[in-house]
Amino acid sequence: MSDWDIAIKRGVEHNVPRVFNVLREHPYLEELARKVREGKLEVLSNLDYYIEMTMKSVEKIGGKAYFAENSQQAREIVGKIVGTGKRVVLGKSMVAYETGIRKYLQSLGNEVWETDLGELLIQLADEPPSHIIAPAVHMTRERIRELIKEKLGVDPGDKHEDIVKVAREFLRQKFLTADIGITGANAVAADSGSIVLVENEGNIRMSSVVPPVHISITGVEKILPNLEYALYEALVQAAYAGLYPPTYINVTSGPSSTGDVEQKRVSPAHGPKEFHLILVDNGRRKANEDSILREALLCIRCGRCHFHCPVYRALDGKWGDPPYSGPMGAMWSAIVYNDYKPALLCSHAGNCREVCPMKINIPKVLEYLKWKYFNGR
C-alpha cells in the first residue's frame, strides 16, 4: 500500500463512522442543513442584490468591503491592505488558496504563515492540499515527523500529541507578533455584515483577533440572508465534516468595539482596529446563471463527499485543481478554473449525492460538465 492508501484508509475509518454518529445523536442537524440549502438558494436567486446588501452592512458596522471580479483583483486588494515587510498569519481559506494570496504576499516581501496545522504542513512541504478540510490527509504521521524535523529543526517524535505540540509552540510566537490576520469565512450574513467561522484548533480565533488588522476573503456564494442562517451554516458544516460540536464558532462583525463607556459603542477595543471583507466572484456569478452548475454553489465545504468517493480515494488526492479536490472539486475546477477535465473521471457511483448535506446532485452536475467538455463549451 502506498502512503496515500494508508493515510486515506485511516482518515476514512476515523471520519465516516463519526459523522454517522453525530447525525444520529443530533437529529436536528438534518433540518438545519435543509434550512441552509434554502437560505443559500434564496441568495443565489438574487445574488447581486445580496452582494450589495452585504457590502453595505459591512460598511455600516465600521468595516471595509470589496468586490473582486477575479483572482488578480483579489490579490491586488489584499496586497494594498497588507503592503510589504509585514508578518501575516493565515487561517485556512480555500479562496485565499484559489486566488494565490500566500505566494503573492510573500512575493511582496511579507512573511506569511498558514496556521491551520494541515495547511502549515502543506506550506512546509510546498505541496497542494489533498482534501478541503484535511489538506494534509495524504501525509502519514511518519512523513509529518520527518517534515517537521527537516523544516522546523525539531524532532517532534512519533506521537500525534507531540507533533501538535511542536506546531503549537512554533505558531504561537507567530500569532503574537503578526501585523495582519487573514481568514476565509464559512458564511457571511447579508443583513448584519458579520462573518461566521467555525474551527477546532483556535488558530482562526487567534488570526482574527490578535493582529491589529483582520482581512476576510471569501466567495460570494458564502452569503446567507441573515445571521441566523449563517450560524446554522457553521453548525451544519462542522457536523458533516465530522467534528461536532465544533470547538469554536467565531462571529466577527466589523473591527473590535466596546460600549463600556456610557454605552457608547466605540472602536477599536482590544482586537483588530480594522476589518476588511473581500468578496470574490472568479466565475461564481457566471456559474450561478447556469441552472445545473448553480447547484455546486451550494457546497459548504464539509468534505464529506470526498471520503465516500471511490475515485477520490483511488487518485492520491489529486482529483481536481487545488484546493478543490474530490467530487466537489471536480465541480469547482470547472467554476473557477474553467477546467472540465476532472469531471470526466466521475464513475457516477452516487455516494457523494447520498451524503451531501446540501443535497447537491453531484453526479448530475458532473455528467453535465462532461457534456460541456465534449462540446468545447
Partner 1 sequence: MINIEQLNFIRKTVTKYLMEDYLPFPVNKETCYEWANGLNIKKGGSTILYTGCSYQLAELGKKFDEILPLLPKFKSIEKFSPLAKIFLKPKNERVNKILRNVASILRKAEVDFGYLYEEEPYSGTILLELGMLDEFREYAKKLVNFFNSHEVKKIITVDPHTHYTLFRIKEMLDWNVDIVNYFQLLKNVKIKGEGTYVFHDSCLYSRFLGMRDLIREVIVSSGIILKENELVTGKETSMCCGSPLAPINKEISEKIAKTRAEALKSVSSKVLLACPFCYANLSPYVESYDFAEVVKVE
Question: Which residues sit at the interface with partner 1, rule CB under 8 A?
Answer: 5, 13, 16-17, 20, 308, 310-311, 313-315, 341, 343-345, 347-351, 353-355, 363, 366-367, 369-371, 373-375
Q: Is 109 helix (H, G, I), strand (E, B) or coil?
A: coil
Q: Minimum Å distance from CB 87 to ligand SF4?
A: 32
| CA pair distance 319, 259, nearest whole angstrom | 50
- Residue 39 in contact with residue 228, Cβ under 8 Å? no
173 binds, among ligand SF4, partner 1, none (CB under 5 to 8 A by kind): none
49 binds, among partner 1, ligand SF4, none (CB under 5 to 8 A by kind): none
| Total Cβ atoms within 10 A of residue 177 | 12
Cβ distance to ligand SF4 smaller for residue 178 or 330: 330
Cβ distance to ligand SF4 smaller for residue 36 or 148: 36
Cβ distance to partner 1 smaller for residue 68 or 305: 305
Residue given cell 445571521 in the structure block: 227
371 binds, among partner 1, ligand SF4, none (CB under 5 to 8 A by kind): partner 1
C-alpha cell at 327: 467530487
Cβ distance to ligand SF4 smaller for residue 33 or 213: 33
Q: Minimum Å distance from CB 366 to partner 1?
A: 8
139 binds, among ligand SF4, partner 1, none (CB under 5 to 8 A by kind): none
Q: Minimum Å distance from CB 207 to ligand SF4?
A: 23
β-partners of residue 279 are 67, 218
| CA pair distance 195, 250, nearest whole angstrom | 8
| CA pair distance 307, 17, nearest whole angstrom | 11
Query: How does DSSP classify residue 260?
Result: T
Cβ distance to ligand SF4 smaller for residue 144 or 300: 300
- Residue 3 in contact with residue 140, Cβ under 8 Å? yes
Note if the bond before 323 is cis, omega within 30 degrees: yes
Among 78, 143, 145, which residue's Cα sits nearest to residue 112?
A: 78
Q: Minimum Å distance from CB 326 to ligand SF4?
A: 7
Q: Minimum Å distance from CB 304 to ligand SF4?
A: 4
Q: Minimum Å distance from CB 309 to ligand SF4?
A: 9
Cβ distance to ligand SF4 smaller for residue 5 or 354: 354
Helix H or strand E encompassing 248 = strand 248-252
Q: Is 187 helix (H, G, I), strand (E, B) or coil?
A: strand
Q: Minimum Å distance from CB 361 to partner 1?
A: 11
223 binds, among partner 1, ligand SF4, none (CB under 5 to 8 A by kind): none
301 binds, among partner 1, ligand SF4, none (CB under 5 to 8 A by kind): ligand SF4
Which residues neighbour 323 within 8 Å (Cβ) at sequence distance 6 or greater? 94, 97, 98, 128, 129, 132, 135, 329
Q: Is 215 helix (H, G, I), strand (E, B) or coil?
A: strand
- Residue 78 in contact with residue 55, Cβ under 8 Å? no
92 binds, among ligand SF4, partner 1, none (CB under 5 to 8 A by kind): none
356 binds, among ligand SF4, partner 1, none (CB under 5 to 8 A by kind): ligand SF4
C-alpha cell at 181: 490576520
Residues that bind ligand SF4 (CB under 6 A): 240, 299-305, 327-328, 355-358, 360, 362
